[in-house]
Amino acid sequence: MSDFGREDAIALYNVDRWGGGYFTVNKRGNVTVMPNGSSDQKIDLTEIIREAKSRNLSFPLTVRFHDLLRDRVETINRAFADAIAESGYQNVYRGVFPIKVNQLREVVEEILDAGKPWHFGIEAGSKPELIAAMALHSDPESLIICNGYKDTSFIRNALVARKLGKIVILVVEKLEELKHILKVAADMNVEPMIGLRVRLLSKGAGKWATSGGENAKFGLSTADLVRASDMLAENGLSQALKLVHFHVGSQVPDIGTIKRAVKEASRFYAKLSKMGHQIEYLDVGGGLGVDYDGSRTTFDSSTNYSLNEYARDIVYSVMEVCNAEHVAHPTIVSESGRAIVAHHSVLIVETFGSIEKNSISTDTVTAEPGDPPLVQDIIELSENIGKKNRLESLHDAQEIRERAQSMFDLGMLDLRAKARIETVYWQIAEEVVAMFRGMRYIPEEVKEMEVALGDQFLCNFSVFQSLLDHWALGQLFPVMPISRLNELPDRNATMVDITCDSDGKVSKFVDLQDVKETLPVHRWVPGEPYYMGFFLVGAYQDIMGDMHNLFGRVNEMHIYLDEDEDAGYYVEEVLPGSTIGQVLTLTQWDTNELARRIKAQVDAAIKGDRLKPNEAMKLLDDYEKSLNTYTYLNFDDQNTK
Ligand SMILES: *Cc1c(COP(=O)(O)O)cnc(C)c1O
């Protein structure tokens, strides 16, 4: 048992596979983060936990590593630059960040700042996103791309940005939108820059595949494209068509899908160019996946390609079609969101209890005089389990337990006897499962028993707030304990959250071959804090959460590397999560009115001599103070360590 070390932990949780070079485990058995992808600068997550506590920040806590975000931006831009240099492609890459993937101001600002050398821009899919993007955007060479359905005000704002000298491209999602844009532009006397979203036949696979294909919600059919081209020509605006766009969906697991789609779209670009438009950009949308389980397969939560392969395949595919069609190489635009932001944030959650099947007793149950025969039977059974009869023993134990249940239903078994039978039953189950551990062939029923024996870790967070896609789409995220990783994790557990919803749990875990139903963990010790890390949650999750049970936003810490600091980093900013008063206000409760009502009840209690005035005022004060506290549970007064 003492042999278990960091290498074993890294292998057990596949850290090297999903970690992308940003996460590892140190000698002390703690998860560490390498925000710039190099082992020279590491941050121990338990250090961050200590820091958070010293600032009275409780859990759940989202930790953002800004250097990691910068590293992602640089890595993607370099991948395209390298592919372009290597292939002799005759144009450049100009990526944009789709704000919807993480709209947090600090995140968007960091991405644009890191992307400056490459004129990295922004993609907006709604009015609020455009309003934010316009103000933040300052580089006249970088793009603002407007996707999504648009009304007059959306279009007007985009054209205002045109007047400010920005490259703003309005991507037409359906034909009527083009008419509308041309009209608003004429009214405002500004020449628009138009993009056309083409509807490809190539369709993705995976959970988000419906953004592409013939039945997609967005995009112009071939007939519509021809009409759009004619409409522009009729208005003397053929030159306003600047971009051809497609988006096959997010988290595309198979590179084959990307290649097919890029070639199909390049053909549209080439043919439209030949119809007399000076198209400058080919926008390949999002879809660049993240290998959440580290399996490098076409499984939904994985990808069978690397970033470099993705960039190379796009560049070469565009080039091949353009060369064959004898048209100029366009500037390549991509809208990768997930691949930029997924890695940068880690959710740290505190476990505050564990429901164990056999929590009643790990002591041996011995026969007592007067025990009903079923108790005697199961005790005898437990004393005679051997390698040869282990499966048979399990079956016999199951039968005794069923008979005990029938007797209990008929009122013929008391609680104490039933408890003794169940205790021995789970002990037998545990013993049999342990006997099969590490075997090459494990019978299906034993595997099921292993899952049934798993603990349920009570975790202080809301799946609906912090891990929405796990609940909604069954997406997998890497999860692991943050410390004690030089100790063998000899329990298996699922994670349940604190919402009053049986769906509020994590019971599917990443695995190289399969999906696991329990996660190896250490035994939870009462009074000793035990933290779980949920990784790669920076894309969509930490910004998209809902208000189930009114838990609201979680506390955040923003971290920057700094060699001059003893700890190797500094906390640039702390964002407090939602308070009880804030979430109540969002749902129309007036906190003053709430306090007034409690005061009236307190006054009545004083009048009726049910409370003394001093005590009553203290209760009122407590109530009012809770309105300013964090919505999640706080166990600081229960932890002994
Ligand atoms: C959501 C979306 C993206 C981002 O996709 P990722 O797979 O997260 O990179 C890009 N473009 C459009 C049009 C989108 O709707």
Give the model confidence (pLDDT) of 529-585 as tens digits.
999 999 999 999 988 788 888 899 999 999 999 999 988 999 999 999 999 999 999
**In angstroms, what is the span from residue 479 Cα to ligand 1's centroid?**
25
- Give residue 214's pLDDT band: very low, low, confident or very high (50, 70, 90): low
* DSSP label at residue 636: T
Half-sphere exposure of residue 366: CA atoms within 13 angstroms, side-chain side: 1
Q: What is the average pLDDT across 4-19?
A: 96
Cα first-last separation, the chain: 24
Average pLDDT over the chain reads 93
CA 253 to ligand 1 centroid distance, Å: 14
What pLDDT, in 10s, does the model give residues 60-111? 999 999 999 999 999 999 999 999 999 999 999 999 999 999 999 999 999 9
H or E element in which residue 491 lies: strand 491-496
Ligand 1 centroid distance, CA of 481 (Å): 31
Peptide bond into 60 cis (omega under 30): yes
Report residue 33: phi and psi, to 5°.
Answer: -115, 140
The reported pLDDT for the residue numbered 413 is 94
CA 553 to ligand 1 centroid distance, Å: 24
Q: Which of 133-142, 235-244, 293-302 has the lowest mean pLDDT?
A: 293-302
List residues bridging with 492 in a β-sheet. Answer: 520
Average pLDDT over residues 433-461: 90
Distances (CA, A) of 242 to 191, 197, 237, 239, 305: 12, 12, 11, 7, 30
Q: Which residues are catalytic?
A: 500
Q: At residue 46, does pLDDT exceed 60?
A: yes
The alpha carbon of 98 and the centre of ligand 1 are apart by a number of angstroms equal to: 6
Q: Is the pLDDT of residue 515 over 50?
A: yes
Measured from the CA of 250, which atom of ligand 1 is nearest? 7
Q: Which domains does the chain have, with CATH numbers?
A: 66-343 (3.20.20.10), 349-356+454-577 (2.40.37.10), 373-450 (1.20.58), 590-639 (no CATH)
Percent pLDDT > 90 in the chain is 85
Q: Give CA–CA dist 252/287, Å, rounded.
A: 5
Tell me how far apart the alpha carbons of residues 29 and 24 are, in angstroms, rounded to a whole number: 10
Predicted confidence at residue 641, as pLDDT, reads 62
In this structure, which residue's CA is closest to atom 4 in ligand 1? 286
Residue 148 CA: which ligand 1 atom is closest?
13
* Contact between 109 and 97 (Cβ < 8 Å): no
Pocket test for ligand 1, best of 172, 247, 281, 292 (most atoms within 8 A of CB): 247
Q: Which atom of ligand 1 is nearest to the CA of 147?
A: 13
Closest CA to 29 of 8, 3, 5, 60: 5
Distance CA 451, CA 561 (A): 41
Provide mean pLDDT across the span 581-600.
Answer: 95
CB within 6 Å of ligand 1 — which residues? 98, 100-101, 123, 125, 147, 247, 250-251, 285-288, 335-338
- Binding-site members for substrate are 282-292
User: Average pLDDT of 260-270?
Assistant: 97
Residue minimizing CA distance to atom 3 of ligand 1: 286
Q: Among 108, 200, 250, 290, which residue has the most ligand 1 atoms within 8 Å of its CB, making it the best to mutate? A: 250
Neighbours of 138 (CB within 10 A): 9
Q: Is the pLDDT of residue 372 over 70?
A: yes
Tokens 């039977």, residue located = 377
Q: Where are the beta strands (DSSP E) in 535-625?
A: 555-561, 569-575
Res. 120 pLDDT band, cuts 50 70 90:
very high
Answer yes or no: is pLDDT of 51 > 80.
yes
Cis peptide before 192 (omega within 30 of 0): no
- In this structure, of 121-125, 269-273, 364-368, the range with the lowest mean pLDDT score is 364-368
555 and 609 in contact (C-beta within 8 Å)? no
pLDDT-derived band at 362 (thresholds 50, 70, 90) equals low
- Atom number of ligand 1 nearest to Cα 197: 13
CA-nearest of 322, 338, 246 to 284 is 246
Pocket test for ligand 1, best of 72, 99, 101 (most atoms within 8 A of CB): 101
pLDDT-based confidence at residue 1 (cuts at 50, 70, 90): very low
Cα gap 526→365, rounded to integer Å: 24
pLDDT at 360 over 60: no
